[in-house]
């Protein structure tokens, strides 16, 4: 069985060969800046700057999926980021950061990103996860699927 992506690529080919898909690929410094902007969004204390960060990073009709909920569009995504900021960053003094040993990676219009959350003052990890971003042609997030990952054994 051929996947729809491969079948679509073959259908576009004039010579029967699979041709690359037209996608937005982030690599190198562009990928680093994208991740820095994404991480800064979660730490932004000012609601208006946070809303602007969401608008700059996410498509108008973007979707964020976790195992517990689905949020759609700028308003719901902004509210989701606000709740996370209020609970983890503002109230508990945690920070989100890229996983030091598992760098982000881009492949066609997908970005894979491992993150960690820990107390700003230091201490053990509180959470970590794996995010998959599907990017639109303009480089903004069309879909984000988030997976929690187990914490290392103490």
Select from 133, 151, 138 the least CA-distant residue to 38. 133
Residues in CB range of 16: below 8 A, 6 or more apart = 10
pLDDT at 121: 94
pLDDT at 95: 97
pLDDT tens for each residue of the chain, 154 residues long: 333 443 344 344 455 666 555 555 667 788 999 999 999 999 999 999 999 999 999 999 999 999 999 999 999 999 999 999 999 999 999 999 999 888 899 988 999 999 999 999 999 999 999 999 999 999 999 999 999 998 987 6
Whether 4 maps to a domain, the answer reads: no
What CA–CA distance (Å, rounded) separates 108 from 137? 11
Whether 16 maps to a domain, the answer reads: no
Whether 103 maps to a domain, the answer reads: yes
Whether 5 maps to a domain, the answer reads: no
pLDDT at 10: 38
Query: How many distinct structural domains can be found in the chain?
Result: 1
Select from 28, 30, 26, 57 the least CA-distant residue to 41. 57
Q: Nearest 5°: phi and psi at 102?
A: -135, 80
pTM for this prediction: 0.81
CATH of the domain at 54: 3.10.450.50
């Amino acid at each position: 069985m051929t996947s729809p992506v491969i079948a679509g690529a073959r259908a576009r080919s004039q010579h029967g060969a699979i041709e690359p898909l037209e996608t937005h690929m982030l690599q190198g410094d562009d990928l680093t800046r994208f991740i820095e902007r994404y991480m800064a969004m979660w730490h932004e204390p000012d609601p208006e700057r946070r809303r602007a960060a969401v608008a700059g990073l996410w498509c108008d009709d973007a979707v964020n999926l976790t195992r517990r909920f689905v949020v759609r569009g700028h308003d719901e995504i902004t509210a989701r980021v606000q709740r996370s900021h209020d609970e983890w960053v503002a109230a508990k003094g945690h920070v989100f950061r890229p996983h030091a040993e598992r760098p982000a990676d881009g492949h066609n219009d997908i970005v894979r990103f491992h993150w960690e959350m820990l107390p700003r003052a230091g201490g053990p990890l509180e959470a970590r996860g794996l995010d998959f971003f599907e990017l639109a042609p303009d480089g903004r997030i069309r879909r984000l699927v988030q997976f929690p990952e187990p914490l290392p054994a103490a």
